[in-house]
Chain A
């Protein structure tokens, strides 16, 4: 296994981008990443692209070939692979690109992630997202995606005394961070009262506990560490890329107060990188719902199981806290184009570790972690990134 470096990245604005197609988004993110990395098209040896359900959102499959076409790379005849693991598709694509470079197969690889979600109506988007759950034994009975997280939220509240207000504080924090991110879908602050007063979606989760429906794409360029300096003087080392699967159905898992796949994948990632949770300076976690961020900081070992709510109360995870979480605004405020989310998390940490995160920069950020979850916990992907 060779060391792998992140040498560049690009992100489209996130939001309701009616004027842009899926192909436009893929091209925009890919071109931005290639320009940032300082590579030529001829340097690229393989493409990977994460996408959850372009087939149902816009009637488009075969994303690998689409990405090659719109990036002007078709004639290079390089391998292009689409990777799918629901909302973890982007990071699972990166994991596959990482394996390809670490193995010695390729030196320079571009990894993208994209989703175009706003071309369908809201109820249809809800239905498509429910395909990340077990269609026959969960969705068939009327369980929705927010519904599955609501089951975990109520379980967590019942078992540990996590409060409704603590959930709301996650949204308040992430919306504040989003005001500092020019790419974010919602660049406005919300209050605890706003969250608790918003429409009920799946009790106890309100509308402002939920990440939005979003269009967007991201791309990163990775290379072997020994070639990274040919292209950039600010490479970021991928210290760990770990992923595990668990049951697609919530009811089939070993516990409901967290995401077992995230617990296991993060332990393996810490071991691989030779670091501990206390060493992490900044994290982007999968806050598809507010409860998910509280469970994430527990599952990742930043706080003990059951203490996530009080840690949020204590300000552990704010921008000036001991461990800033979701400086980008998270899925909650930055937006959640499902296939792009994992790449967007990596992009945010790349900015943080290069010292380019502007008004949301975390001082002396040297080690960052991303936590990307597919479905209600059927897949977890963890990356640890290190400034060089």
Chain B
């Protein structure tokens, strides 16, 4: 991934900065420039919004056939997480054995290394999730 592309997504990836529609109050992550419910009324009214970082596992999988850059992580857990702000996202669950992950499990975000572009390439950081408590 190109450095500019990585750099411009740092606020969202490091700090879970999404957007909130000031018209209806819905929070979106990843950030949206327009609210799909309010559309025209939301233009210019989408404010940055920091998610709390906690949510519930809606579904999960354990990846055994990883893409490039993730070979050393295998097996790792990818989950569909419903955030407390009622928006969904996809992320890894760490600090727990894959067989202890379950649907309905409460998780919270943590700041981790996602992958590295080769031995001397850029290291990409971002959010992962771990069990609460």
Pair from one complex: yes
A residues in contact (CB < 8 Å) with B: 123-124, 126-127, 130, 136-144, 146-147, 150-155, 158, 199-205, 249-252, 256
- When distances are taken between beta carbons in the complex, the residues of chain B under 8 Å from A204 are 61
Chain A residues whose C-beta falls within 8 Å of the C-beta of B114 in the assembled complex: 140-142
Given contacts A136-B9, A137-B90, A155-B103, 17 further A-B contacts (CB under 8 A): A126-B66, A127-B68, A137-B30, A140-B124, A141-B91, A141-B92, A141-B128, A142-B67, A147-B78, A150-B61, A151-B59, A151-B61, A153-B61, A200-B64, A249-B90, A250-B80, A251-B90
Say yes or no: B124 contacts A202, CB within 8 Å: no
B88: which A residues are within 8 A, CB to CB?
A: 251-252
- Closest B-chain residue to A145, C-beta based? B67
A residues in contact with B60, CB < 8 Å:
151, 154
**What is the distance, in angstroms, from B83's C-beta to the closest C-beta of chain A?**
10
Give the docked Cα–Cα distance between A202 and B61 (Å).
6
Residues of B bordering A, CB below 8 Å: 1, 5, 9, 30, 58-68, 70-71, 73, 75-76, 78-80, 88-92, 98, 103, 114-115, 124, 126, 128
B64 A123 Cβ-Cβ under 8 A:
no
Complex CA distance for A150 and B80, rounded to whole angstroms: 11
Most buried by A among B75, B88, B98, B124: B88
- B65-A154 in contact (CB<8A): no
Contacts of B91 in A (CB 8 A): 141
Closest 3 CB pairs of A and B: A150-B61, A203-B62, A251-B88
Task: Decide if A141 touches B78 in the complex (CB within 8 Å).
Answer: yes
Selected A-B contacts with CB under 8 Å, 7 pairs? A126-B67, A136-B5, A141-B91, A141-B128, A151-B79, A199-B64, A249-B90
Residues of A within 8 A of B64 (CB): 199-203
Q: Known interface pairs A136-B30, A155-B59. Does A143 touch B90 (Cβ–Cβ under 8 Å)?
A: yes
Which of chain A's residues have a CB closer than 8 A to the CB of B71?
123
Which chain B residues lie closer than 8 Å to A205 at the CB level? 61
How many Å from the CB of B112 to the closest CB on chain A? 10
